A and B are shown apart, each in its own frame.
Chain A
Amino acid sequence: MTHLSLYQQLLDACAALLLLLSFAMLSQRRVVTLVNLYAVQGAVLAAATLLLAWRTGEGHLYLSAALTLALKVALLPWLLHRLIRRLEVYWDTEPLLNVSGTMLVGLVVVVFAFALAQPITRVTSTATRSAIGIAVSVVLLAFLMMITRRKAMSQVVGFLSMENGVFFGAMSASYGMPMVVELGVALDVLVAVLVLGVFFFQIRERFESLDLHHLESLKEHE
Chain B
Amino acid sequence: MELLLLLTLPVAGAAVLGVIGADRRAPEINALFSLGTFLAACALVVRVIRHGDLLLGSEQFFIDPFNVFLVALTAFVGLTTSLFSRPYMRVELEHGRLTAGRLRLYHSMYQLFMFTMLLALTTNNMGLMWVAMEGATLSTVLLVTLYRTPGSLEAGWKYFILCGVGIAQALFGTILLYVAAGKVLGAQGMTALLWTHLDAVKGQLEPTVLALAFVFLLIGYGTKVGLVPLHSWLPDAHAEGPTPISAVLSGLLLNVALYAVVRSKVLVAGSLHSELPSMMLMGFGLLSVVLASLLLWRQRDIKRLFAYSSIEHMGIATFAFGMGGPIANFAALLHMTVHSLTKSSIFFTAGHAAQKTGTQLIDGIRGLITLSPSVGWGLMLGSLAILGVPPFGVFTSEFLILTTAMRTQPWATPILLAGLAVAFAAIFSKVQPMVFGETTGRRLPHPPALLPVFAHLAIVLLLGLYIPPYLADWYRAAAHLIGGP
Contacts and interface: CB of A to CB of B under 8 A. Distances in A.
Interface of A: 58, 116, 119-120, 122-125, 139, 143, 146, 152, 155, 159, 162-163, 166, 169-170, 173-175, 177-178, 180-181, 184-185, 187-188, 191-192, 195-196, 198-199, 202-203, 205-207, 212, 214-218, 220-222
B208 interface: yes
Interface stretch (B188-196, B332-340, B450-458): B188-196
B178 to A, nearest CB: 6
A152 B183 CA distance: 41
Given A123-B183, A202-B148, A218-B155, A181 B168 contact: no
Interface stretch (B38-46, B133-141, B425-433): B133-141
Please list the 6 inter-chain residue pairs (A to B) with the smallest Cβ-Cβ separation, ordered nearest first: A181-B127, A184-B131, A119-B208, A215-B154, A188-B134, A170-B175
B153 A203 contact: yes
A116 B212 CA distance: 9
Given A166-B175, A220-B295, A192 B138 contact: yes
B180 A123 contact: yes
Contacts of B172: 139, 166, 169
B-side interface size class = 35 or more
B161 interface: yes
Given A123-B209, A178-B127, A188 B168 contact: no
Given A119-B208, A123-B183, A178 B153 contact: no
A153 to B, nearest CB: 12
Contact of A174 (B130, B131, B178, B298): B178
A180 B125 CA distance: 10
Given A178-B127, A220-B295, 9 more contacts: A146-B165, A159-B168, A169-B172, A180-B128, A202-B148, A215-B157, A215-B158, A220-B298, A222-B298
Nearest to A139: B172
B230 to A, nearest CB: 14
B236 A120 contact: no
A199 B127 contact: no
B468 interface: no
B164 A119 contact: no
Nearest to A118: B208
A49 to B, nearest CB: 15
Interface string B80-117: 00000000000000000000000000000000000000
A206 B153 CA distance: 9
A135 B192 CA distance: 21
B179 A181 contact: no
Given A146-B161, A198-B142, A203-B153, A187 B131 contact: yes
Given A198-B142, A199-B141, A217-B151, A180 B171 contact: no
A119 B150 contact: no
Contact of B179 (A152, A173, A196, A198): A173
A207 B151 CA distance: 11
A174 B188 contact: yes
B182 interface: yes
Contacts of B239: 218
Interface of B: 60, 125, 127-128, 130-131, 134-135, 138, 141-142, 145, 148-151, 153-158, 160-161, 164-165, 168, 171-172, 175-176, 178-180, 182-183, 188-190, 192-193, 206, 208-209, 212, 236, 239-240, 295, 298-300
A174 B156 contact: no
A207 B172 CA distance: 35
Which one of A58, A170, A178, A192 has the highest number of Cβ atoms from chain B below 10 Å of its Cβ? Answer: A178
Contacts of B192: 178
Given A123-B209, A173-B175, A202-B145, A178 B189 contact: yes
Contacts of B298: 220-222
Contacts of B160: 192, 195-196, 199
Given A139-B168, A192-B164, A216 B175 contact: no
Contacts of A203: 153, 157
Given A166-B171, A202-B148, A218 B236 contact: yes
B158 to A, nearest CB: 7
Contact of A199 (B156, B209, B212): B156
Contacts of B236: 218
A215 B165 contact: no
A170 to B, nearest CB: 5
Contact of B168 (A166, A175, A196, A206): A166
Contact of A188 (B135, B183, B190): B135
A191 B150 contact: no
B161 A185 contact: no
Contact of A207 (B150, B178, B295): B150
A215 B130 CA distance: 28
A214 B150 contact: yes
Contacts of A169: 172, 175
A173 B174 CA distance: 12
A181 to B, nearest CB: 3
Given A178-B190, A184-B127, A195 B179 contact: no
Contacts of A221: 298-300
A123 B210 CA distance: 11
Contacts of A214: 150, 154
Nearest to A152: B157
Which one of A58, A159, A216 has the highest number of Cβ atoms from chain B below 10 Å of its Cβ? Answer: A159
Contacts of B189: 178
B130 to A, nearest CB: 8
B293 to A, nearest CB: 14
Given A159-B161, A166-B172, A169-B175, A177 B141 contact: no
Contacts of B208: 119, 122
Nearest to B133: A188
Nearest to A147: B165
Contacts of B128: 180-181, 184
Contacts of A120: 176, 179, 209, 212
Contacts of A218: 151, 154-155, 158, 236, 239-240
A169 to B, nearest CB: 6
A109 B155 CA distance: 29
Which one of A155, A212, A215 has the highest number of Cβ atoms from chain B below 10 Å of its Cβ? Answer: A215
21 contacts: A120-B209, A122-B208, A146-B161, A163-B168, A166-B168, A174-B178, A177-B193, A178-B190, A178-B193, A181-B193, A184-B131, A188-B135, A192-B134, A195-B142, A196-B160, A199-B145, A199-B160, A215-B153, A215-B158, A218-B239, A220-B298
